[in-house]
Amino acid sequence: MNRETFFRILTFVVLILVVALGFWFAPRFALMAQGLLPTSEVSDMAVEDLDVDIEVEEEAEQVEPEEVDEEEEPPIEEDEEEYPPEEVERPSFVPEAREHFNNDDIVAHITIPGTAIDYLIAQADNNVYYLYHDLWGNRTAAGTVFLDYLNSPDFSDQNSIIYGHNMRNGTKFHDLRMYRSREFFSENNLMIVTSAYSVLYYDIFAAFITHIDFNYIQIDFADGEFLEMVEEMKLISYHKTDIQVAEDDRILVLSTCWGAIGTDQRLVVVGKLRTE
């Protein structure tokens, strides 16, 4: 094959390739001209749309997953420092409290609805020990609410006396001071004592401040002395009531200090036992 013939064949092959490529590219150029294929600008918009889709998907992933029912763990019971007050209206409360504190001096429990007064009552063989000791036997300035050592623990005396400190932090008999208010006196006039024998209800009929010269803690009475003491209580009371106290009635006296340490003044609240 001479040189001229070779170039002719090569030229023929090149023409065939050009024609073939022309047939393949011609439709695509037509579509691009009509805006149906992405130019560089359209391509950028497509990328932006893709970013938006990705953000939406990411936000969707942040939606809180559905809650799955799981078995709830039982609540942890905390140790009680005091015997539960919700048990106070059961006569069996006193034996259980004695066992809890390992203290046979516990004779009753007192609560006054509307106040923070909600305490066990102890009784020693004197009126000094529980001024400075708690139910565990630990020495403490707050002491314990206690029944006069001369009283019967079943509250069968005509005059039963319970003592408690007037604590600045609001504990013990601090709330007795609220009975100086006529409104409070009228709306909170019930005292509940739960002894080892029964549940006793007392209606408050007197509240006063007095010097210790007034023997309101008398327990044994000669003829007429009980009513004389009651009349004196009513006379010096901040408020008057229609409650009548008879010779054979029983009363409950709550006594606490009033004023500075060592004072001879006492704040006293008195209730009459319901007989029905």
| Every domain of the chain and the residues it spans | 3-61, 93-273
Per-residue pLDDT of the chain (276 residues; tens, 9 = 90+): 666 676 677 777 777 776 666 655 554 444 444 443 333 333 333 333 333 343 433 443 444 444 434 444 333 333 333 434 444 444 558 999 999 999 999 999 999 999 999 999 999 999 999 999 999 999 999 999 999 999 999 999 999 999 999 998 999 999 999 999 999 999 999 999 999 889 999 999 999 999 999 999 999 999 999 999 999 999 999 999 999 999 999 999 999 999 877 788 999 999 999 986
Q: Backbone phi, then psi, for 269, in 5-degree steps?
A: -125, 135
**Cβ-contact 232, 253 below 8 angstroms:** no
Q: State the pairing for strand pair 118-122/106-111.
A: antiparallel
At residue 86, the pLDDT reads 41
What pLDDT shows up at residue 55? 40
What per-residue confidence (pLDDT) applies to 20?
63
User: What pLDDT score does 51 carry?
Assistant: 39
Class of domain 93-273: mainly beta
What does the block give as tokens for 242? 């229609």
Residue of 159, 105, 113 lying closest to 129 (CA atoms): 105
Residue 78 confidence (pLDDT): 35
Q: What is the pLDDT of residue 77?
A: 35
Strands (E) across the chain are located at 106-111, 118-122, 146-147, 159-163, 190-195, 199-211, 251-257, 265-273
Position 39 scores a pLDDT of 35
Pick left, alpha or beta for residue 137 (phi over 0 → left; psi -120 to 50 → alpha; otherwise beta): left
Q: What is the pTM of this model?
A: 0.67
Query: What pLDDT, on a 0 to 100 scale, did the predictor assign at position 3?
Result: 65
